[in-house]
C-alpha cells in the first residue's frame, strides 16, 4: 500500500478493530453516518453482527487496515492492543503515513505511551489516545465523552471523525494525556459505584419511597449522570452488562498502579478495587458493573 492510497480526506475509510460491547455500536453508528468501515474482531458472532449493520467485515486486522486512513482500536486490555499493533501480524509492520491510530481502549498509561513512541519510530504514523466514557448506548448514539492526547496535526486529522462519534472531545495535552484522564475517570467511576451500592441499600431499608430518591436528589449536590443510571439498575437488580465487572476491575488495577507510580494515596479507590475483586471471585465477572450491589444483597436480599 502506498502513502497515496491512504491520503487524508475529511472522511477517510476506517479500519475498526474490536467490535464488542463498545466497538459494535460505534462502528454501526459510523456506518449510519456515511463512513466506510472495514471491521475485524476475533469473535465470529461479533463479526456477523457487525456485517448485519453494514460494516465491511475483514478476515484479519491487517486486511481491515489495508487502504484505511484511520485505524480505530476498541480492545479490552493493554495486552490486546500490543498484540494487534506489534505482535507477529501487527499493524505497525504494514502501516504507512499518513495513516493514524485512534485508540478508544482503556489501557495502562506507561505502556500506552510506549506504544505511541514505538509506532512513530517503526512506521512514522501518528497515534491519538482517545479513551471514552458513556457506555454502549452513547457509543451507538454518537454521544460519547472522549478524553484525548494528540499532536496538533493528528488532532486536526481526526476532527471530522470525532464530530460524528462524541458529544465532548477534549485534548488534554500530548499523546498519552488521554490515558491519564481515563485513569482519573475510572477512579471516580469505581468509587461511585461502591458508594451508590451502599446508598441503595440504605434507601431500601429506611422506610421511604425509594423509587423517588433520584427525583428528590435531582439537581442537588448528590445528583449525577452515573447515579441516575445505576441506582435504578441496582433497585431492579438489572445487571445485564453495559460494562463488565472484569473490565472495571482491570481498570481499577491500572488506576492503583498509576497512583503508586505518582506516590499519590488512594484509599477509597483501593476499597473499591477490593469490592470488585470480591465480586469477581464470586463468579460475577461478566455482569454489569452495577452488580457490585450483589455484595450487599447477599446479606439483605431484594426489597419487599
First to last CA, the chain: 64
Residue with grid cell 495513516, as numbered in its chain: 99
Whether the pLDDT of residue 134 is over 50: the answer is: yes
SS3 40: strand
Q: What is the mean pLDDT of residues 109-136?
A: 97
Whether the pLDDT of residue 300 is over 70: the answer is: no
Instruction: Tell me the angle at which helices 245-262 and 109-123 cross, rounded to the nearest 10 degrees.
Output: 90
pLDDT band at 122 (very low <50, low <70, confident <90, very high): very high
High-pLDDT (> 90) share of the chain, %: 94
pLDDT band at 22 (very low <50, low <70, confident <90, very high): very high
CATH superfamily of 3-173: NAD(P)-binding Rossmann-like Domain (3.40.50.720)
CATH of domain 180-300: 1.10.1040.10
pLDDT band at 3 (very low <50, low <70, confident <90, very high): very low
- Residue 91, all three cell numbers: 499493524
Cα angle value 295/301/304 (rounded, 5°): 145
Global confidence as pTM: 0.91
Whether the pLDDT of residue 1 is over 90: the answer is: no
Q: What 8-state DSSP symbol labels residue 238?
A: -
Neighbours of 73 (CB within 10 A): 25
What are the residue boundaries of the structural domains of the chain, listed by start? 3-173, 180-300
Whether the pLDDT of residue 126 is over 70: the answer is: yes
Per-residue confidence (pLDDT) for residue 6, from 0 to 100: 40
Whether the pLDDT of residue 143 is over 90: the answer is: yes
Per-residue confidence (pLDDT) for residue 303, from 0 to 100: 53
Sheet order of strands, 144-148 included: 132-133, 144-148, 166-171
Whether the pLDDT of residue 4 is over 70: the answer is: no
Whether the pLDDT of residue 63 is over 80: the answer is: yes
Q: What is the mean pLDDT of residues 165-180?
A: 97
Per-residue confidence (pLDDT) for residue 9, from 0 to 100: 54
Whether the pLDDT of residue 169 is over 60: the answer is: yes
Between CA 89 and CA 125 the distance in angstroms is 17
Nearest to 78 by CA among 40, 121, 116: 116
Per-residue confidence (pLDDT) for residue 10, from 0 to 100: 76
Farthest CA pair distance, the chain: 69
pLDDT per position as a tens digit, 217-249: 999 999 999 999 999 999 999 999 999 999 999
pLDDT band at 124 (very low <50, low <70, confident <90, very high): very high
What is the chain's mean pLDDT, rounded?
94
Per-residue confidence (pLDDT) for residue 299, from 0 to 100: 53
Whether the pLDDT of residue 46 is over 70: the answer is: yes
The reply to whether 3-173 and 180-300 are identical in fold is no
Nearest to 132 by CA among 212, 57, 65, 186: 186
Q: Is the peptide bond before 98 cis (omega within 30 degrees of 0)?
A: yes
Min mean pLDDT across 3-7, 138-142, 238-242, 295-299 is at: 3-7
Q: What is the DSSP string of 67-120?
A: T-SEEEE--SSHHHHHHHHHSTT-GGGT--TT-EEEE-S---HHHHHHHHHHHH
Amino acid at each position: 500500500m502506498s502513502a497515496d492510497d491512504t491520503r487524508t480526506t475529511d472522511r477517510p475509510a476506517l479500519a475498526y478493530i474490536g467490535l464488542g460491547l463498545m466497538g459494535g455500536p460505534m462502528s454501526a453508528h459510523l456506518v449510519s453516518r456515511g463512513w466506510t468501515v472495514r471491521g475485524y474482531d476475533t469473535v465470529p458472532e461479533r463479526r456477523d453482527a457487525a456485517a448485519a449493520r453494514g460494516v465491511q467485515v475483514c478476515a484479519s486486522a491487517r486486511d481491515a487496515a489495508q487502504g484505511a486512513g484511520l485505524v480505530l482500536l476498541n480492545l479490552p486490555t493493554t495486552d490486546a492492543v500490543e498484540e494487534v499493533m506489534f505482535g507477529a501480524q501487527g499493524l505497525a509492520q504494514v502501516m504507512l503515513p499518513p495513516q493514524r491510530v485512534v485508540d478508544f481502549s482503556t489501557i495502562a498509561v506507561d505502556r500506552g505511551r510506549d506504544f505511541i513512541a514505538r509506532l512513530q519510530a517503526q512506521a512514522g504514523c501518528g497515534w491519538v489516545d482517545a479513551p471514552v466514557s458513556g457506555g454502549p448506548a452513547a457509543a451507538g448514539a454518537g454521544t460519547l465523552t472522549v478524553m484525548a492526547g494528540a499532536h496538533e496535526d493528528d488532532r486536526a486529522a481526526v476532527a471530522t471523525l470525532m464530530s460524528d462519534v462524541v458529544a465532548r472531545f477534549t485534548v488534554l495535552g500530548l499523546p498519552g494525556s488521554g490515558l491519564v484522564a481515563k485513569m482519573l475517570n475510572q477512579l471516580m467511576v469505581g468509587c461511585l459505584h461502591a458508594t451508590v451500592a451502599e446508598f441503595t441499600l440504605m434507601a431500601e431499608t429506611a422506610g421511604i419511597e425509594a423509587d423517588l430518591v433520584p427525583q428528590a436528589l435531582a439537581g442537588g449536590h448528590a445528583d449525577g449522570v452515573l447515579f441516575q443510571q445505576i441506582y435504578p439498575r441496582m433497585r431492579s437488580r438489572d445487571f445485564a452488562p453495559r460494562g463488565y465487572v472484569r473490565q472495571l476491575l482491570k481498570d481499577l488495577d491500572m488506576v492503583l498502579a498509576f497512583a503508586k507510580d505518582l506516590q499519590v494515596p488512594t484509599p477509597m479507590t483501593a476499597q473499591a478495587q477490593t469490592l470488585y475483586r470480591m465480586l469477581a471471585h464470586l463468579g460475577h465477572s461478566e455482569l454489569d458493573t452495577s452488580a457490585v450491589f450483589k455484595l450487599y444483597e447477599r446479606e439483605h436480599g431484594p426489597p419487599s
